[in-house]
């Protein structure tokens, strides 16, 4: 999950940590002349996304479902570590 640093209610915006490598979508489509991701990086990123989703789905007392997971909502830090962002559409899932 991307770290929330602060909020500005006057302008309705949130401030998150800076993600040096942009979104997964940007990297997959090589926007800005970025180098292609190796398959090793792609598999690690997929595992990190799955781990993040597992964390959200097992949250206590109420699990969360992201509802808008896409490459544009996966951000990559300086070391290409994947972090899930934009959980604005997330819904609490009641326990059955």
What CA–CA distance (Å, rounded) separates 64 from 56? 5
- The reported pLDDT for the residue numbered 92 is 57
pTM, two decimal places: 0.82
Asked whether 25 and 17 are in contact (CB, 8 A), the reply is: no
d(CA 45, CA 20): 15
16 touches 88 (CB < 8 A): no
pLDDT > 80? residue 90: no
Looking at domain 4-92, which CATH architecture does it have?
A: Orthogonal Bundle (1.10)
* Domain range list for the chain: 4-92
pLDDT digits (tens, 9 = 90+) for 16-74: 899 999 999 999 999 988 889 999 999 999 999 999 999 888 877 888 888 889 999 99
pLDDT band at 7 (very low <50, low <70, confident <90, very high): confident
Q: Which residues carry out catalysis?
A: 68
């Amino acid at each position: 999950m991307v770290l929330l640093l602060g909020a500005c209610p006057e302008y309705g915006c949130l401030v998150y940590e800076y993600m040096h490598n942009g979104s997964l979508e940007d990297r997959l489509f090589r926007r800005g002349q970025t180098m292609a991701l190796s398959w090793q990086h792609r598999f690690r990123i997929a595992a990190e996304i799955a781990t993040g989703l597992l964390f959200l789905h097992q949250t206590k007392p109420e699990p969360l479902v992201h509802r808008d997971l896409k490459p544009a909502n996966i951000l990559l830090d300086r070391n290409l570590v994947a972090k899930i962002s934009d959980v604005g559409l997330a819904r609490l899932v009641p326990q059955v």
